[in-house]
Structure 1
Amino acid sequence: MNIIKKALRMNWKEAWPLIKQGHKQSKRSYLDLIIDLYHCYKEGYNWGEYFIFGFQFNKSKQYRDTFVCGKVHYQMITDKFKISDEDNSFFDDKGLFNRNFSDLKGIDTLDLRVNDFNDFKKFVEKHEEFFVKSATGYGGHGVRHIYLKDIKVKLEDFYNQLLKDGYVVVEEKIIQHPEVSKLSVNAVNSIRIVTVKNINGDYNAPFIASRIATGEAYVDNCSVGGASCVLDDEGVVNYDYFANIPIIKYYDRNIVTGFKFKGFKFPYFKESVNLCIEAAHRCKNPFIGWDVAITENGPVLIEANRAPSFDLFQVKGQLENNRGKLKELEEALGFELKK
């Protein structure tokens, strides 16, 4: 009965295409896969991690124990460093984040809960194109792209409507470096940089991945069809990009332009890492995922995530030595993470 209850809670609309693909590729029965999914759920893995990590192909405990489990290991880290919800408050609020890191942000921003109409008027006089966001949206949701020329009501009425609708974060449009636009033309293709503070108080950035939009999409979030690839220590793409919505697929090139991904090196890569480590020094949280965009003038800080989506760094087709990254995370932290 318990397994049935757990199964019924699964997002079948998103999970079923992956189960079907896993069944076809692994030659395992549907029942075997669903029971295994349930057992992994009890261990702390969600169904997305199950397929991203390649568990449908490998039931070995030795293999699976090499992976960072977001739910379990994140809690271990926060407990070890005694992190409270208050310490994480600005991760959940884009406006608060922008105010805390305004000197590192790299673009003009407003929080309409703090900035008044006069501030908004000055902003649009400077920026004819901008984005408005809800303070707590995630995964590319709660974002609108605004062109000043398309506003058909009085500016103050538009300002008040934004407040009413909860679009309180206003940000200048990021003009992406033309080299990075080769990866996907329409989206700002961000880099996810994970900073880690070890038990001695030293900082490093051991995990870095690129995220891109696929096709002609405008957002790079993997949860809405984007793709990702781990980067090496020099910011170079060495693998095909990976997507798992609606099914697992790898991309070796931009499907619109034909630009081949392998060998691409991000401009301002070291500067991006240094920017995130500087920002991390202001935070008590020892384990943060920073999203950075690259412009012609250098890196721009987009936002930070208290749980940095470790599935980005443990994609089956991008693994070194066919194992997960638990050992590397333990080395970065300076202590073992035992389930």
Structure 2
Amino acid sequence: MRNFTDIGRIKVFIKDKNKKGFLKVIKEIFILLITKKEIPFYYFKFLYRKDVKNYLDYLSTKEVVAIGSNSELHKPEYKSLFNNKLVFALFCEKASINSPRLISHNFGSCFCFNNKNEKINTKEELVLFFERVFASLDTNAIFFRPPSEYGGKGCFKISQKGLASEVDDKYETIINGRFVHTEIIHQHKEINKIHSKCVNTIRIISLITSEGDIELVCSFMRFGVGDSSVDNASSGGFFVGVNLNDGTLKLSGLYMLEYGGGDIYEHPDSGFKFEGFKIPYFKEACEEVVNAVKIIPDRFIGWDVAITQNGPLIIEANWAPHIFLSDYAYGGLLRNQHMKKLVSDLKNKII
């Protein structure tokens, strides 16, 4: 992702034809300065747009940082579990959390499959290794993810059909890197109608309140574009808000400012209109997240969930989810009573 600064946001703001009038912008910035007690650079993310009437309901930079840095919301042992995709995959396997099957993994030239380790020294040996893997599985492709990267960085897949040529192309990347190898997810056919080139995941934000209740406070769906193998908004895709009450997509989505920050009402590849699309198994996805929170009781988590023909799979969990995206997708998280109380508790140091 390109380096994007506050100056970059202001440039997008200047070019955006959907911005509020100059005097209104100045007035709102002044009110935010007084109310939030910080220079509201975050205003130039989305809040300057004409359709954002309730700008005071959106989280400030200080409030977002407070949520992400509070030790009572995020225990170190949970953070370490989320931060490593290999550890998370192994944990899900042991805890019976529905997630993509872990097939194998490698640390450089050391590969592990079926609890056996072996050293790979050549392309030919790597082809033979994956031939054995494919022969023992009912999958025709394997997805590779770096254990510690975010935003879809470094992800790719290798297919059984193109194994030799794909290993030839990716050999140096694999042998000099560290990767978690999981089964390919076969996305639900209804979601494929929107975009089929990658798995388009749902982000669901969970919160354990100070009373100990598990609440789902926000959800949005991320979509890839073109031939990208990932759906992350930070990798050029976009996101669309989800109505939590019925699992339907909202009217429009948004690109991140790094990619122009434009509104989008239909997928650019398929022409599929978002509004009212009912996500299959959304209720089950929410139930899966609640069950996972009971097993991993970190108080504020962003869960990434894929929808297959047979139901939801939890891809990963994030203790530091992109809260600004959630904020915009929800329409101002401070409209949510649980988020409003959380922010108040953080300010009053009673969490």
The interval holding the TM-score normalised by the smaller chain is 0.7 to 0.9
Q: How does 1:1-339 map to 2 (within 5 A)?
A: 11=5, 15=9, 17-22=11-16, 25-26=19-20, 28=22, 43=38, 49-55=42-48, 64-69=55-60, 72-76=63-67, 79=70, 81=72, 83-102=74-93, 103-109=96-102, 110-112=104-106, 116-117=112-113, 123-125=133-135, 126=137, 127-152=139-164, 164-232=175-243, 233-244=245-256, 245-315=258-328, 319=331, 323-325=332-334, 327-330=336-339, 333=342, 336-338=345-347
- Mean Cα deviation higher: 208-217 or 73-82: 73-82
Note closer, same or farther for the CA distance 1:257–1:184 as it changes in structure 2 (3 Å cut). same
User: Which residue in 2 is equivalent to 1:4?
Assistant: none
Distance 1:71 1:96 in 2: 31
Note closer, same or farther for the CA distance 1:154–1:251 as it changes in structure 2 (3 Å cut). closer
Relative to its length, the structure with more strand (as a share) is 2
- Residue 293 of structure 1 and its aligned partner are, at CA, apart by 0.5
Sequence identity (%): 26
Distance 2:300 2:333 in 1: 17
Contact residue 78 and residue 285 of structure 1 kept, 8 A: no
Distance 1:116 1:270 in 2: 36
Distance 2:86 2:57 in 1: 37
Note closer, same or farther for the CA distance 1:81–1:163 as it changes in structure 2 (3 Å cut). same
Contact residue 74 and residue 307 of structure 1 kept, 8 A: no
Distance 1:217 1:15 in 2: 25
Structure 1: runs of 5+ lacking an equivalent: 1-8
Note closer, same or farther for the CA distance 1:328–1:225 as it changes in structure 2 (3 Å cut). farther
- Residue 186 of structure 1 and its aligned partner are, at CA, apart by 1.2
- Residue 89 of structure 1 and its aligned partner are, at CA, apart by 0.2
Note closer, same or farther for the CA distance 1:201–1:184 as it changes in structure 2 (3 Å cut). same
1:50 partner letter? Y
Distance 2:170 2:289 in 1: 32
User: Which residue in 2 is equivalent to 1:6?
Assistant: none
TM (normalized to structure 1)? 0.78
Distance 1:54 1:148 in 2: 47
Contact residue 18 and residue 49 of structure 2 kept, 8 A: no
TM (normalized to structure 2)? 0.75
Distance 2:44 2:193 in 1: 29
- Residue 152 of structure 1 and its aligned partner are, at CA, apart by 2.9
User: Which residue in 1 is equivalent to 2:120?
Assistant: none
Note closer, same or farther for the CA distance 1:185–1:331 as it changes in structure 2 (3 Å cut). same
Report the 3-state secondary structure (helix = DSSP H, G, I; strand = E; otherwise coil) of the residue aligned with 2:87: helix
Matched residue count: 319
Distance 1:241 1:58 in 2: 13
1:194 partner letter? I
Structure 2: runs of 5+ lacking an equivalent: 117-128
- Residue 180 of structure 1 and its aligned partner are, at CA, apart by 1.0
Contact residue 193 and residue 290 of structure 1 kept, 8 A: yes
- Mean Cα deviation higher: 252-261 or 108-117: 108-117
1:266 partner letter? I
Report the 3-state secondary structure (helix = DSSP H, G, I; strand = E; otherwise coil) of the residue aligned with 1:275: helix
Contact residue 156 and residue 229 of structure 2 kept, 8 A: no
